[in-house]
Structure 1
Amino acid sequence: MEKLNEILAAYVAKGDSTKGKVLGAAFTVVNRDGVLFEGSAGRVDIPRDSSPWGSDTLSWFASMTKLASAICILQTVERGLVTLDEDVRPRLPFLQEVQILRGFDKAGNPNLEANPSPITLRHLLTHTTGLGYDLSEEPLMRWRRKVGKDKINMTMTMEGYSTPLLFQPGTDWMYGTSVDWAMFVLERVTGQKVSEYMAQNILVPLGMNETGFWPKTLGKEPVGIPYRGSGGVLAGAPFPVPEEHPVESGGAGLYSTARDYAKLLRAVLQGKLLSQESMDLLFQPQLDEELQMRLIDRVGPAQFLYCPEYPPGMPMNFTFGGLTNLEDIPGKRSKGSIMWSGYVNPRWWIDRTNGVAAVLQVSLLPFADPIVARLYDELERAVYEGLVAK
């Protein structure tokens, strides 16, 4: 365990210089029986006399919300409120009307065509719907400019989420707002807001008292999100999402702490929250051979973005819980583990074979920070050399 503390300490800024460092980080490792390691290092802000970063420091967990949301969706399926493969378009008017963007004409006008295919929760949970993130998909930003819609996904508004599809559902893979739409379906079938359902069915039962969609209700201010410039130095930057917004984002809305999020990971290891069948489904690869190749075509060239912890050429698939490695990673997690990350660089993994899971909490931009990737790699290797091996 001392090795993990040493790694954390080596990566955080000690003085005024932040070049090649993170401001602060927390790392928690759990197994089915409890917490194996909980540690933190660094500070919460640029000034060197800022408060220390702790395991109870609150930050935006962004897309790490998706694991909790996937569990919520599988719960509603278990309860017979909806099925994974029914067409959910009739439940949400926008999905009924959404068109497919097929490029632009010579005048720059979008070529839109009707979507002939069903949209299912299976599509939404596996990012095979055609809904992208506008900040990473240039055609969506070009479409926004042309039609005069200036609210991007990050505004957490219905206008921001209401973008055309970029392909026919079930024919390709693209990371985007699909899980947000899955949770809008959940709101319809349960009659509850996203925050209400998640609190009742996950957060309260697990004692996750420092996790929620609205920091004001948690009694804490989230840490800021500095930006690493070209010189490798961190500088203050505006918070990327508005403090007040009309939509609770099931894809990226949660704020949490390393200590609290680890409770969710441990619950998954223990098989809580879902039946055994549904928990197995959370880890089961969902993409057929053709869609798996589409996933690899998109993720492979951008592996440093999606899965820097995988060695080059690692066969992978997508599950309801996240990305899964189909072979053991030497010195690290076993095949069949699942993982994901968040926009401001936090990361998690769950290895059911070895019965271990971990969360790394940091808060900085841009996404896919190489310093964080190296920190995460060292931490994971130390976990498997020490805690798991013993």
Structure 2
Amino acid sequence: MDKSILADYLDSLEAKGIPGCDCVIFQNHKPVFRHTTGYSNASKTKPLTSANTYWLFSATKLITCTAVMQLVEKGKISLDAPVADYLPEYKHLNVKCGSDVVPAKNTLTIRHLLSMQSGLNYNLQAPSILKVLLDTKNEATTREVIRELAKEPLEFEPGTHFLYSLSHDVLGAVIEEASGQKFGEYLYEHILKPLGMKNTGFELTADREANMSEQFEFNMETMTSKPISIVNCYKLSNKYESGGAGLISTADDYILFLDAMCNDGVSAEGYRVLTRESIDMMRMDQMNDISKKDFDEFGRIGYSYGLGVRTLIDKEKSGVKSPLGEFGWDGAAGAYAVIDVENHVAIFYVQHVRNCGYAYSDIHPKIRDISYEMLGL
């Protein structure tokens, strides 16, 4: 196994505006590749290490949707049940119709939330959100924010289109209602702690903050990055736990989750996160023809969208070596997760660079393809 090709590629990214990055690959519960390169700060005085923490942003969604599927297995959530069964304020929703707002005809379901076909949007400045944050002096809980969000009109009838949105944040509130636990507590008890993910959570603890890699913003024209002070705009309040973008983690932690998922839902220590049946359900294409066209705008060639994950449906179109059904997702600062249940392979790449379209169009596909060549798959 020649690991130098992937290591050299990761090293080359600094010249492309990526200050530092970390990449780890597991196969059959064993680490087969690890390379950390670059720096965690703009002045290049702190080399990036395995101890560095990152905001996962949308890579959080994989864990949130896994938690939902756990509760589906336990009979506490039904995929096609109305969201209003768990969150009563979502019973009478409105939808935009041209310049008007009218009552929604379709019932919003849990499956619609998981597959981003809910009709919700990603407007963090929605009047209902701003009001609850103001009324609570920035102390609104997840449940309080999501309750107010129901007052906003949907962009379209549930189930008719795909739109990346706050759907998975709403799922965080569903998890609270279905489990009887605070969202973060549920994740800790049923996913993070049993998998040994000691440095993962919603809270920016002193230790996590001390090890936090500096965030950068990418300039595509100059292929350079500059440091930014914005921490996480998706953390709407001091008490808000975002199911779509709120977790902090390390590469060492997150790969443990991916490793369990790629090994039929079982960790190296024998903890079952999910059944293989649930994992297969997650990676099943959920898009109708119209929704598929919406998803294609993301540029994930050969992929469609399942229950909270991209899923490979066309190898010929994508030109990749990974098998059909390879799935995962990414994050706003460039994190990238690959789960391959056929070969029991998990890949996690992380950087801390916002607005970096280059990561999704070039870096992620390159890492995936080099990894499969390196592994001889």
Any residues of structure 2 matched to 1:104-183 within 5 Å, and which?
Answer: 104=99, 111-134=100-123, 144=127, 158=145, 161-162=149-150, 163-183=152-172
The Cα shift of 1:54 comes to: 2.1
How far the C-alpha of 1:207 sits from its partner, in A, is 0.3
Is the contact between residue 162 and residue 295 of structure 2 (CA under 8 Å) also seen in structure 1?
Answer: no
Residue in structure 1 matched with residue 284 of structure 2 by the alignment:
284
User: Contact 1:39/1:54 (CA < 8 Å) preserved in 2?
Assistant: no
* Aligned partner of residue 64 in structure 1, secondary structure: helix
Alignment of 1:208-357 (within 5 A): 208-216=197-205, 219-221=208-210, 222-229=212-219, 230-241=221-232, 245-271=238-264, 272=266, 273-287=273-287, 291=288, 293-303=289-299, 307=300, 310=301, 314=302, 316-328=303-315, 329-357=318-346
Q: CA deviation at 1:359?
A: 1.0
Q: Deviations over 1:182-222 (max 9, x none)?
A: 12111011111111000100001110111111121754432
In the alignment, the residues of structure 1 paired with residue 338 and residue 84 of structure 2 have an alpha-carbon distance, to the nearest angstrom, of 32
Tell me the residue number matched to 1:10.
Answer: 12
Once residues 265 and 217 of structure 1 are traced to their aligned partners in structure 2, the CA distance between those partners, rounded to angstroms, is 26
User: Are the aligned partners of 1:224 and 1:239 in contact in 2 as well (CA < 8 Å)?
Assistant: no
Gaps of 5+ in 2: 135-139, 267-272
Matched residues in 1 for 2:360 and 2:19: separation? Answer: 11
In structure 1, what is the equivalent of residue 370 of structure 2?
382
> Cα distance 1:372–1:276, how it changes in 2: closer, same or farther (>3 A)?
closer
Evaluate the alpha carbon distance shift between residue 320 and residue 148 of structure 1 in structure 2; reply closer, same or farther with a 3 A threshold: closer
1:255 is displaced (CA, Å) by 0.7
Q: For the residues of structure 2 that align with 1:254 and 1:175, how far apart are their CA atoms?
A: 18
- Return the match for 2:39 from 34, 37, 43: 43
Aligned AA (1:158):
V
SS across alignment from 1:12:
helix
Taking the aligned partners of 1:10 and 1:148, their CA distance within structure 2 comes to 42
2-structure distance, mates of 1:321, 1:269: 16
**Cα deviations by residue, 1:118-147 (Å, 9 ceiling, x for unpaired):** 221111100111011127xxxxx7x759x9
For residues 294 and 277 of structure 1, what CA distance do their matches in structure 2 show?
Answer: 27
Q: How has the CA–CA distance of structure 1 residues 269 and 81 changed in structure 2, closer, same or farther, with 3 Å as cutoff?
A: same
Q: Deviations over 1:350-386 (max 9, x none)?
A: 1222321201101112142x15643333322221111
Sort the Cα spacing of 1:94 and 1:325 in 2 relative to 1 into closer, same or farther, 3 A.
Answer: same
In the TM superposition, what whole-angstrom CA distance separates every residue of 1:272-308 from its partner, at most 9, and x where no partner exists?
A: 2112321221222223xxx2x22332233441xxx2x
Question: In structure 2, do the counterparts of structure 1 residues 144 and 367 end up closer, same or farther at CA, with 3 Å as the change threshold?
Answer: farther
Confirm or deny: 8 A CA contact 2:217 2:356 kept in the other structure. no
CA RMSD between the two structures = 2.6
Distance in 1 separating the partners of 2:63 and 2:298:
25
Cα distance in 1 between the residues matched to 2:43 and 2:339: 35
SS at 1:248 equivalent: coil
Check the 8 A contact 2:254/2:348 in 1, yes or no: yes
Q: CA deviation at 1:321?
A: 4.2
3-state secondary structure, aligned to 2:260? helix
Report the AA paired with residue 30 of structure 2.
G
Number of equivalences: 353
Given the two structures, how large is their TM-score scaled by the length of structure 1?
Answer: 0.83
Equivalent residue, structure 1, for 2:269: none
